[in-house]
Every structure is written in C-alpha cells, then in structure tokens.
Amino acid sequence: MRSRKVFSAMMAGVGLAGLTLMAPLTGAAAQEGKAGGTLKLLANAAAGTIDPHINYTLQYFQINYILYDGLVTFRKTGDKTGFEVVADLAESLPKPDDGGKKYVFTLRKGIKFSDGSDLTTADVVASFQRMFKISGPTTGTLYNGIVGADKCLKTPATCTLEGGVVADEAASTVTFNLVAPDPDFLQKISIPHAAILPAEAPLKDAGTVPIPGTGPYMIASYDPNSLLKMVRNPHFKEWSKEAQPAGYPDEIDYGFGLTDEAAVTAVENGQADWMFDPPPADRLAELGTKYAKQVSVHPLTAMWYAPMNTNLAPFNDIRVRQAVNYAIDRAAVVKLFGGSNLAQPSCQILPPNFPSYAPYCPFTANPGEKWSAPDLEKAKALVAASGTAGQEVTIITEDTAVSKSIGVYLQDVLNGLGYKTSVKPISQNIQFTYIQNTNNKVQISVSQWFQDYPAPSNFLQVLFSCASFNPGSDASVNISGFCDKAIDQKMVEAQTATIADPAKGAELWTAVDKAVTDAAPVAVLFTPKRIDLISPRLKNFVFSPQFYWIMSQSWVE
C-alpha cells in the first residue's frame, strides 16, 4: 500500500527494534487513562472513499482499524508483538487443516454492529463476497487463493465464493477453503480489506456514506472537503483488549484542508493533536530542536524506489537498469528526504528487520551488505555496452516536494549517463494508478511501498510476480512489468516451504530477494522512517509496527 494515496500497508516493522527518537511520548503504560474529550487530527486532504473494502490508503487504514474488525487482526500494542495475528471477531485463531488449505473460524457471540444489528456468519460470507463484487483493490493479489475466487474475479457481479467461504449458522462457524496452502492467509485477512460488514452493505463503493462497523468508534459524518467525525459506537463492548481495546476519546475529529505548514503550527500550538502528513522539510530542524518532546520517529518496513519499465526502452535492457542502480547516490537521496535520522540508504527489496531480510547490496562501489557510494564508472560502462545512450527518458513523479526533488535528482543522474531526461510531476492523487497502467507508457517513476502485512510475499510476490502484472490496468502494482518465470517459481517454492519449514521458507525468500534485486526491475532508494508530531496535551502515544499510531489508545488532557 502507499502512503495517503495508496498506501499499502502499514508500517512496519522494525518497530521498536530500530531507532526510536523521542522518549517522552510512549511508555505511558503506568499512567491512568483519561476517557473523554475530543481528539483533533489534521490532514492536508481527505483520502477518498470511506469504504473499508476499497480504500487502500494508510490514512484511512489507520482509522479503519478502530472502526471495523476482521475475523483476526494484528495485536494492538506498541511493541514488536504488534506484528502478531490475534483472534478478533473469531473466538480463537484456527489451526490450518487439510494440509494448510482449510481454516475454520468460530464467531464470538454477542457482538453488534454500530447500527444495533447482530454479527452473524452470514455477514462474514457476504463481506467476502462483497470484496469481489465491488472489485476490491486486493482481491486479485491477496484473496485470489480462496476457492471460487477465480470465478469471482472473472464475473464479480455473480460472485458466490461457493466452496470457498462456507457458513454454518447453527455452529456459528465459517470455513475458508484455499486452492493451495498459504502461510500468509491469516495476515492477509487481518487488514481492513477483509473487515466484516453487515450483509446489507451496499454492493458498490460506499463513497462518503458510512457503513456500520463493530469497532469502538463509528463515523458520524464525512465531508471530504472539511471533516470526518468519529464518535463512540454505542453498541461496542470490549471483547479482547489485544485485538480491539476500548478507546479513550469520546470523539475524534479529522479535519482536512490545512497546508502542511499550517498543520505543523496548529499542532505546535496545541490547536490540533496530530497531523497525518509528514512535516515539511523546512520545519524539520525546528521540530527537532524546539519541539523535540512532541516528536517521535520510527523506522518503517517500507521503501522509496524507482520502478523501471522492463518492457520499454531503454529499461528493457537489464544493463541499463543496473547502471541506474549503480549511479544513484543514495546518501544524496536520503538528504532530500530529511537526512539519515529519517531514512537509510538501501538497494534491496526487503527492508531491514523484516522477515527473511539479509543485508545485500550489489549496486555500490564496494558490493556487499551495505551501500557505500555510487559506482559511476561501472554505470557508464554498462550504458555504453547497452548502446542506449542518447535515448529520451521521462520520469514520472508525484507533485509533492520530496517526490519531485527526487525526480529532479534522478534526471541529473540519467543525464549524466547520457540520456535526454525530462521530469513530469503529476498530482499525487493519480500518480500511483497512472504509473501502473501500461497504456501510459511510463518508463521510470518515483514511488513508495509500505508493508500491508509482515511477510516477504507482500514485497516480493505482490510487487514482482507475473500475476501482479496486469497490462492496461490501473491496478497493476507490479509497476515495472517484471515477469521472470524462474523467479516466479522460486516464490512459489518459498511460499510452499514456509508452511512445512518456516526456516527453510525464510531462506528461500532471502534468495528470491537477492534474485529480484539482481534483476533490478527497480532502483530501491532508501528505507524511510515515520515522523509523528503531536500536541502537548496528547498522552499515551502508542506506536504499533503494524498500525502506526493507535489513536484510540491516546487521551487528551
């Protein structure tokens, strides 16, 4: 997932293992929570539809986790166990059966939606059917392994998932049957796209009309031009503190429209409690000094990268893609993002502290585990060997300051390699889908990927498998159009091995990571960190590696 605009997946990883600047904000476990009050959040703009089965942005994933529940979820905690899957609407975590192809969930009793209706097994079945009927953005990549999914993908309107999702109302169970064992299945159904909604939920994008949920809060009103207002769900009763704890604030107001600069000032002054967007670069030094106590920095399992179209010249030549990787001064790019305290250079696909991660960097002056410096001579030699110098190249970036400045830097790099390069910044609202669609003939772009769930497949399979490449579609997250049958086979082997022998599976995924990195369908630039600025009155800022800030667990004074 991508940041506001399509964010994918939440954060990650590293969480707490890595650098965490700012001590005073967290670790308030000993404090007594103070219920009540209104939490005031700010974002530059709304993030589109509030339909949890459709919205694929971090901005709304973050609130959907307190509005909706799935059968399972990630543990809502501020330590590294935040990556663990726990039972949510299900009574317990099921053990896979039938060689890893069958999962039976038993629903908890007495849970109600925010409209007062009871949660039933029919709602679960209808929710999974709905995901396909409305052509949810991840049905083809995350949920295509459910029996019957192939038919649903072909003809969404008549989707039944027959044999794939089966309810037994009397026993209060729902059985999932998979086409093949999937070690990541529970993680995949832990994200908001698998939220359980009332069976009566509209079979179209809900847009700005809230759909009832089971979380501690519900949406009272939503105007994408001004405000999203969340209030307590009157029918919520805490059933699992680790899955869905009750919240502290009575109301959460998410305001839209202020610029980043204005939002920083508002939070500094206590007029708002938090801002979604990263603070603008020219305020970072001020925040790091005058307002250091209100700032927290956390590593993410994510990457900023430059996808190169492996089906278009000059990047259909592996030597050119490798040359770009050799030529990029990643330390310089890190400066554009805010410096080494906000990002770390990287040249491999999997981010640090992620499952199967093993440090690897072939594209540096001294190839080995870490990037050290660009190797321009090698890069120029590769371009010369490819005979592509002099060709025209267009870089597509978002029209944000950081993305554009990285684009201008890459333009400089490509010009230095002998190409005639131009940069086209386009609105961040459309850039991510624009660069995915092969009809737009995008050669190279600047993009980001944030983890949806903590498994290597979320980076390697989702971004680089042949199945993720859908020519002519806006939903083709394999932006490079990379399709290597041999590497695809290795992914399947890694996936299969993980079920029987997780250690062996992890090894295979590490090998896949190296293979994809060597093929250079993208130039990984750096691993970013998340910077959060909060107001002085906000207490108990809990940062989960999966959810980022768990807003329901903070209170205001």
Partner 1 sequence: MDNLSAGQALVRSHRGAEGPWRTAWRKLRADRAAIMAFGVLVLITAASLAAPLYARYVAETDPFATNLNGEVVIHGETRQVLEPSTEGLGLGFTPLGPTWDFGPYMLGADNQGRDVAARLLYGGRNSLLIAGAAALICLGLATLLGVVSGFFGGLVDTLLSRILDVLWAFPIFLLAISLSIVLITQSITIGPIEIRSGSLWLPIFIIGIVYVPYVARPIRGHVLSLMQAEFVTAAIGIGASPWRILLYDILPNVITRVIVFVPLILALNMMTESSLSFLSIGVQPPDASWGTIIQDGQGLLYSRPIVALAPGLAIVISVLALNILGDGVRDALDPKSSIRVA
- Of the candidate spans 145-153, 192-200, 325-333, 357-365, the one that interacts with partner 1 by CB under 8 A turns out to be 325-333
Pick the piece of the chain touching partner 1 (CB under 8 A) from 328-336, 381-389, 461-469, 548-556: 328-336
Piece of 39-47, 79-87, 221-229, 287-295 that binds partner 1 (CB under 8 A): 287-295
What is the identity of the amino acid at 106?
T
Exposure string over 118-143, b if 16+ CB within 10 A, otherwise e? ebbbebbbbbbbbbbbbbbbbbbbbb
Q: Name residue 315's amino acid.
A: F
| Contact flag: residue 307 with partner 1 (CB under 8 A) | no
Peptide bond between residue 314 and the one before it cis (omega within 30 degrees of 0): yes
- Which of the ranges 87-95, 163-171, 291-299, 490-498 carries the binding residues for partner 1, by CB under 8 A? 291-299
Question: Which three-class secondary structure string do you get for 439-463?
Answer: HHCCCEECEEEECCCCCCHHHHHHH
Of 183 and 374, which has the nearer Cβ to partner 1? 374
β-strand partners of 227: 223, 255
**Using rule CB under 8 A, residue 391 touches partner 1:** no
**Which of these ranges, 124-132, 201-209, 278-286, 482-490, lies near partner 1 under the rule CB under 8 A?**
278-286
Of 425, 454, 521, 528, the residue at the interface with partner 1 (CB under 8 A) is 425
* Residue of 146, 198, 142, 148 whose CA lies nearest to 176: 146
Considering only the stretches 61-69, 235-243, 280-288, 360-368, report the one whose residues sit in contact with partner 1 under the rule CB under 8 A: 280-288
Choose between 111 and 534: whose C-beta lies nearer to partner 1: 534
- Least distance in angstroms from the C-beta of 365 to partner 1: 14
Residue 176 near residue 164, CB atoms below 8 Å: yes
Q: How far is the CB of 341 from partner 1 (least distance, A)?
A: 5
- What six digits make up the tokens of 530? 């998340």
**Does 443 contact partner 1 by CB under 8 A?**
no
Residue 376 CA: distances (Å) to CA of 83, 366, 408, 416: 40, 12, 18, 9
Shortest distance, position 539 Cβ to partner 1, whole Å: 20
* Dihedral sign for Cα atoms in the order 449, 453, 459, 463: negative
Q: Does 376 bind partner 1 (CB under 8 A)?
A: no
Q: Which of 75, 76, 232, 283 lies at the binding interface for partner 1 (CB under 8 A)?
A: 283
Quick check: 394 binds partner 1 (CB under 8 A)? yes
**Shortest approach of partner 1 to residue 352 CB, angstroms?**
20
Residue 284 or 487: the one with the smaller Cβ distance to partner 1 is 284
CA separation for the pair 7, 145 (Å, rounded): 22
Task: For residue 341, state whether it binds partner 1 (rule: CB under 8 A).
Answer: yes
Question: Closest CB to partner 1 among 334 and 538?
Answer: 334
Total binding residues toward partner 1, as defined by CB under 8 A: 42
Stretch that binds partner 1, among 167-175, 187-195, 422-430, 453-461 (CB under 8 A): 422-430
Query: 549 with 273: CB under 8 angstroms?
Result: no
> Which residues share a beta bridge with 304?
448, 526
Q: Please say which residue, 220 or 408, places its beta carbon nearer to partner 1.
A: 408
Angle at the Cα of 378 (from 490 to 358), degrees rounded to 5?
35
Contact 512, 491 (CB under 8 A): yes
Distance (Å, whole) CA 331 – CA 374: 9
Binding residue (CB under 8 A) for partner 1 from 33, 257, 339, 362 = 339
Contact between 119 and 97 (Cβ < 8 Å)? no
CB 134 within 8 A of CB 203: yes
Q: Restricting to residues 229-268, name those near partner 1 by CB under 8 A.
A: 261
342 binds partner 1 (CB under 8 A): yes
424 binds partner 1 (CB under 8 A): yes
Q: Is 404 in the site for partner 1 (CB under 8 A)?
A: yes
Is residue 304 a contact residue for partner 1 (CB under 8 A)? no
For residue 163, how many C-alpha atoms fall within 13 Å in the half-sphere facing its CB?
10
Position 282 contacts partner 1 (CB under 8 A): yes
Of residues 329 and 518, the one with the C-beta less far from partner 1: 329
Question: Taking the complex as a whole, how short is the minimal distance between the CB of residue 479 and partner 1, in angstroms?
Answer: 18
390 lies in the site for partner 1, by CB under 8 A: no
Q: Which of 166, 199, 292, 312 is close enough to bind partner 1 by CB under 8 A?
A: 292
444 near partner 1, judged by CB under 8 A: no
Site for partner 1 in 479-538 (CB under 8 A): 531
Tokens of 538: 């906000």
Q: Is 411 among the residues that bind partner 1 (CB under 8 A)?
A: yes
How many other CB atoms are found less than 10 A from the CB of residue 116?
9
Q: Which residues contact 430 (CB under 8 A, 6 or more apart)?
A: none
* Rounded distance between C-alpha atoms, residue 389 and residue 393, angstroms: 10
Nearer to partner 1, 226 or 259 (CB): 259
CB of 333 to partner 1, least distance (A): 8
Q: How many helices (H) and strands (E) does the chain have?
A: 14, 22
List, as one string, the DSSP characters of 69-131: --SEEE---SSGGGGSEEESSBSSPPPPBGGGTEEEEEBPSS-B-TTSPBP-HHHHHHHHHHH
Binding segment for partner 1 (CB under 8 A), chosen from 152-160, 247-255, 276-284, 449-457, is: 276-284
User: Is residue 437 close enough to count as binding partner 1 by CB under 8 A?
Assistant: no
Give the residue with the Cβ less far from partner 1, 4 or 283. Answer: 283
Answer for the pair 236, 267: CB distance below 8 angstroms, yes or no.
no
Binding site for partner 1 (CB under 8 A): 21-22, 261, 280-290, 292, 295, 297, 329, 331-332, 335-336, 338-339, 341-342, 394, 399, 401, 404-405, 407-409, 411-412, 422-426, 531
